[in-house]
Amino acid sequence: MSLTFHTKDLSHSSFLVTGGAGFIGSHIAEYLLKHGAKKVRVLDNLANGFRSNLDVLKQYPAFEFMEGDIRQIDVCQKACAGIDYVSQKAALGSVPRSIREPLYFNEVNVGGFVNVLTAAVDNKVKQFVYASSSSVYGDEPTLPKLEERVGKCLSPYAATKKTNELYAQVFADVYGIRLMGFRYFNIFGPRQDPDGAYAAVIPLFVKSIMNQVPAYINGDGEQTRDFTFVDNAVQINIKGMLTDNTEALNKVYNVAIGENFSVNYLYQACCKHLNSDFPPVYREPRAGDIRNSLADISLAKKLLDYRPTKRFEDGLAETIEFFKKKYS
């Protein structure tokens, strides 16, 4: 990642990235370290994160790893001590898993989130950004998705992310903490986990095609998603933490490209990049999934100067190259 998304000197600022051993979190931590942050502390319990993601960060003297769980308030207090800016990424993902394990998702995504918020307030953190999700739009049919128009949640995962937004607003109003949330739309890129029962679609497709094992498409494959390369998620986190625009605070923003593609198109694009004609296997639609997804990103452009730098095809090519090197 060679692009620069900030103008401030970071050498006097300390950052906490919760979930920083995970996919998006490790990219945010790497950016901050590359650009000379005074300290970048990663808090992760390694339930979803990987030590291999931390290996990229260890070369920087400003990096600090703290193994711990956001469900423990004392851990969160220790993690926030001496920190200026927080990027809260520690959470459980996956709609299907949340349907199977609603209590676990509530403990981590709601209870843990409130712990981190509380610790940030107690430690007088300057600015706090957190991961919400496009899943909060639920059954709202309008495209493109506008931040103020949300529907009924379709999964426990979506409910936890909607609850995060409610708590964030309350904490802003009651305690005066400066924060903002990001509704991510299908973030993908290098380091995304292709293994496990709840792996994301792009790494799953790439690994399946490379290994010639069944690649499953849920439903007819004509459902659409606003696939968003991880650099764009990094950009909004950096701009959100560092912005001086008070009008931008205490809001939620769509983080996407503003273009959508069908899952069938995605699969064919993966095959093309891998010079393969390996056919997919279609199966039943997945419970809790929304049919179509497309973001309006004008609010983030206006208030945070968010400018997507890498579109779907270029990001996909870079991601596939990463997995080819990893698995060849």
* Model pLDDT for residues 31-60, shown as the tens digit of each residue: 999 999 999 999 999 999 999 999 999 999
CA distance 247 to 48: 34
Domain annotation covers residue 71 = yes
Q: Given 3-state DSSP classes, what are the helix, strand and coil percentages for the chain, each rounded to the nearest 5?
A: 40, 15, 40
pLDDT-derived band at 198 (thresholds 50, 70, 90) equals: low
Q: How confident is the model at residue 197 (pLDDT cuts 50, 70, 90)?
A: low
Residues 6+ apart with CB under 8 A from 52: none
Query: From CA 15, how far away is CA 76, in angstroms rounded?
Result: 14
What's the confidence (pLDDT) of residue 287? 79
Average the pLDDT over each of 10-14, 91-95, 242-246 and give the range with the smallest value: 91-95
Tell me what the pLDDT averaged over the chain comes to.
Answer: 95
pLDDT value at 241 more than 90: yes
For residue 289, what pLDDT is reported? 79
Q: How many angstroms separate the CA atoms of 202 and 215, rounded?
A: 10
In a domain, 31, yes or no: yes
pLDDT of residue 70: 98
pLDDT per residue as tens digits for the range 65-107:
999 999 999 999 999 999 999 999 999 998 999 999 999 999 9
Is 99 contained in some domain?
yes
CB neighbours of residue 288 within 10 Å = 18
pTM: 0.95
In a domain, 205, yes or no: no
Residue 118 sits in which domain range?
14-188+229-258+297-309
Question: What are the catalytic residues?
Answer: 157
Q: Let me know if residue 81 belongs to a domain.
A: yes
Q: Which residue has the tokens 């498409």?
A: 217
* Predicted local confidence at residue 193, as pLDDT: 86
- What does the pLDDT average to over 233-255? 98
The pLDDT score that the predictor gives to residue 2 is 61
pLDDT over 90, % of the chain: 90
Distance CA 162, CA 270 (A): 32
Give the chain's domain count.
1
Mean pLDDT of 17-28: 97
Count helices and strands in the chain by DSSP H and E runs: 12, 13
**Between helices 23-34 and 230-242, what is the axis angle to 10°?**
60
Q: Is residue 207 part of a domain?
A: no
Say what the pLDDT of residue 167 is: 98
**Is 70 part of a structural domain of the chain?**
yes
CB-CB contact of 25 with 19 (8 Å): yes
pLDDT tens column, 98-155: 999 999 999 999 999 999 999 999 999 999 999 999 999 999 999 999 999 999 999 9
pLDDT value at 267 more than 90: yes
Answer yes or no: is 88 within a domain. yes
Average pLDDT score over residue span 249-266: 97
Helix (H, G, I), strand (E, B) or coil at 58: coil
pLDDT band at 6 (very low <50, low <70, confident <90, very high): confident
Query: What CATH number did the domain enclosing 106 receive?
Result: 3.40.50.720
Helix (H, G, I), strand (E, B) or coil at 46: coil
